Amino acid sequence: MTAHHADTQAATEPPTRAAARDIPASDLFEDEDALPVVALTAPPAAARGPDLSQYEEFIVFFSGGKDSVACALHLLERGIAPDRIELHHHIVDGMEGSDLMDWPCTEAYCQAFARAFGMRYATSWKVGGFEGEMMRNHSRTAPIAVPGPDGKALVTGGERGTLNTRRKFPQVSANLSVRWCSSACKIEVGARYFTTHPRFGDGCKRLVITGERAEESSARASYASFERHRTDRRDGKRTTRWLDHWRAVHAWTEHDIWSILERHRVTPHPAYWVGLNRASCQFCIFGGPQQWATMRFMSPQRFRRIAELESEFGTTIHRSRCVNEQADRGTVLKGAKTAWRDIALSRQWTLPMISPDWQLPPGAYAHGCAGPT
């Protein structure tokens, strides 16, 4: 495996496209009086997890969704200094120009959160992103870009592997070879970061934190809340890489998640203000009729591109319905018709990350809108 440096930075400001408008806070909330109130509760005792004093560094895989935000905040509440925490974000669409799947606002939101709480921020991605992997035609999987020791993106891999053809979207499945977006754009990318960056081979104890919750699905309920990370080599002869993996909010309920966001008054990701319950990709393959109807309304050109690709591939994301049929069955969420539409579709984040007048977003507890719940 060879490596070379790219010109892109590992943790730079995102490219600017349409700037978010300056919008008064009073215009951002619809039917504020109707929003439920979250009572403040302490995290469940079972979630306390490992002895954090033994670790030198904490790496939170950070999507900007409520669960990864809760993980970062939980570390602060456990007494971890912000400068010992790295928020690591996987850029699903890559940095080569594709904008097919993810929310345009997500990277700027993640960067704003890191700045607000004084945490380090880094990114990694599959070169060509989701779209590049999907369009493979008798070719090897693309290289992966991870932060290098000099702060620039280090591009590794791509020379080996089997020649293969995808040319179809991932589909809803617990099998990661079918739902390949999770493995190709996130799991493999994160693993490459740990096996490539030399600092992880120095023998220091580090803790990797992810935000899966048992409440979300029976599959996630079966995950261990604490284990060695898959790339751990603490007993290695050539490299001593000590990495534990803690699913810090595995035992938490959705109520616990929103409570910690309220305690710290964190402005939730715009996806929740649009009305979705999860801040996964904007065009998440787990989306139901409401989400597809809403995305067709919010981003018609990108929606049309996905519909055209389904037709070109002869395979739909849903097992029996194309995205247009899915959208026809749903209704547009109210939040998509507010100023939050412009904020969600902007590549800049201009709102306060700490909200003095915190509100629970409409997507809270709105199950059935998006994702594997």
pLDDT in tens, 314-355: 999 999 999 999 999 999 999 999 999 999 999 999 999 999
> Has this prediction a pTM greater than 0.85?
yes
pLDDT in tens, 181-203: 999 999 999 999 999 999 999 99
Q: Phi and psi of 343, rounded to 5°?
A: -65, -45
Cα–Cα distance, 126 to 31 (Å, whole number): 41
Q: Which pLDDT score, from 0 to 100, does residue 211 have?
A: 98
CB atoms within 10 A of CB 51: 7
Cα–Cα distance, 57 to 88 (Å, whole number): 13
Sheet holding 85-90, edge to edge: 3-9, 152-156, 144-147, 120-126, 85-90, 57-61, 202-210, 240-247, 226-228
First to last CA, the chain: 38
Domain 3-9+52-268 top-level CATH class: alpha beta
Q: Which pLDDT score, from 0 to 100, does residue 6 have?
A: 40
Domain ranges of the chain: 3-9+52-268
Q: What token pair was written down for 100?
A: 């097919």
Question: Is the separation of the CB atoms in 366 and 291 below 8 Å?
Answer: no
Q: Which pLDDT score, from 0 to 100, does residue 212 have?
A: 97
Res 32 pLDDT > 60: no
pLDDT in tens, 256-278: 999 999 999 999 999 999 999 99
Higher pLDDT, 372 or 130: 130
pLDDT in tens, 68-92: 999 999 999 999 999 999 999 999 9
Closest CA to 293 of 329, 335, 260: 329
Dihedral sign, CA of 330, 331, 337, 340? negative
Q: What does pLDDT average to over the chain?
A: 88
Closest CA to 63 of 210, 273, 231: 210
Cα–Cα distance, 5 to 148 (Å, whole number): 8
3-state secondary structure of 247: strand
Q: Give Cβ neighbours of residue 49 (< 8 Å, ≥ 6 apart).
A: 225, 226, 246, 248
